[in-house]
Amino acid sequence: MKSVFYISSDGDQGGKRAVWAKELYDQTAEPRKVSIIPNSGGHGVNALKDSDTIIDEILVWFRETL
C-alpha cells in the first residue's frame, strides 16, 4: 500500500481501531499519514465531528498528495 491517510478515534472499539490504523500505517509506503482523534469513541463521520482540526488535515493531505 502507498499514499494512504488513516484516521481513527482513540476510543472506537475500545481503542482497537487506533491500534489497527497505526499497524497499517507502519505497513504503508510514503506518502502516508495517520491521525488519531483524541477523546472520541466516534466511528466514520462521527469521529470527524469530534475533531476541530481533522478536516483541515484532510485538505492539506489532498493538496500535498494529489
DSSP classification of residue 40: -
Within 8 A by CB and 6+ apart from 59, the residues are none
Reported pTM: 0.92
Q: Which residues of the chain fall short of a pLDDT of 50? A: none
CA distance 12 to 29: 25
**pLDDT attached to residue 24:** 98
